[in-house]
Amino acid sequence: MSRELDVARVNSITAQIVDAAMKVHSALGPGLLESAYQACLAHELRKRGLSVEEEVPLPLLYDGIRVDVAYRIDMVVQGCVLLELKAVAKQLPVHEAQLLSNLRLSGYKVGLLMNFHSMFLKDGIKRMVNKL
């Protein structure tokens, strides 16, 4: 899949996502399950008029076959920003690799890795791009 990128639009959307995530994190704090943050963030984004897809199936092509639902993307916002949500004590390089793999396999160009277990959410957010 190839997805065109409007940089100004994506920057505006990622800013709204970060703002919404900060609101959720301020209200809930760290220590909950990832699924709780995902549900609340999706709700907050939809309140702002953004389209949100959750648990998006991500097929994998291997050796000439298509493996359906090999993976799931946590969220896709406005059809252009992929979100990988975590609630872990420490963000690891494997989490970044997971986001980059999801970007590569899906064709999306921009993704956010967000770790809601961070004491300060700003320290748990990483923006990554795929072949820009």
Domains assigned to the chain: 7-129 (3.40.1350)
pTM of the predicted model as reported, rounded to 2 decimal places:
0.90
DSSP class of 8: H
Query: Percent of the chain, pLDDT > 90?
Result: 83
Residues in the chain: 132
Q: In this predicted structure, what is the pLDDT of residue 132?
A: 61
2 — pLDDT class (breaks 50, 70, 90) = very low
pLDDT band of residue 4 (cuts 50, 70, 90) is: low
6 vs 77 pLDDT, higher one: 77
Q: For residue 30, give the amino acid letter.
A: P
Q: How far apart are CA 52 and CA 111, in angstroms?
A: 14
pLDDT digits 0-9 by tens, 42-94 = 999 999 999 999 999 998 888 999 988 778 999 999 999 999 999 999 889 99
- Sheet harboring 52-62: ordered strands across? 52-62, 65-77, 81-86, 110-115, 125-129
pLDDT at 10: 96
